[in-house]
Amino acid sequence: MTTVLANTSFTFQVLFLDVDNIPFVVLNPEITVFSFSDAGVKQELIATTAMIPVTPVEVGRYTYTYTLPSAFGEGDMIYGEMTGEHPVSGDILWYSEDVAVVTLPPGSQGLSWNTVKGG
Q: Has residue 114 been placed in a domain?
A: no
Rounded mean pLDDT, 44-63: 96
Helices (H), the chain: none
Split at pLDDT 50, 70, 90, the class of 105 is: confident
Residues 6+ positions from 23 with CB-CB distance below 8 Å: 15, 16, 17, 58, 59, 60, 61
Domain holding 79: CATH number? 2.60.40.1930
62 domain residue, yes or no: yes
- Note whether residue 111 is domain-resident: no
What digits encode the pLDDT tens for the residues 67-92? 998 899 999 999 999 999 999 999 99
Query: Cβ of 99: how many Cβ atoms within 10 Å?
Result: 21
In this prediction, residue 119 carries a pLDDT of 47
Residue 15 included in any domain: yes
Query: Does residue 107 fall inside a structural domain?
Result: no
Q: How many domains does the chain have?
A: 1
The confidence band for 110, taking pLDDT boundaries of 50, 70 and 90, is low
> What is the span of the domain harbouring residue 92?
2-102
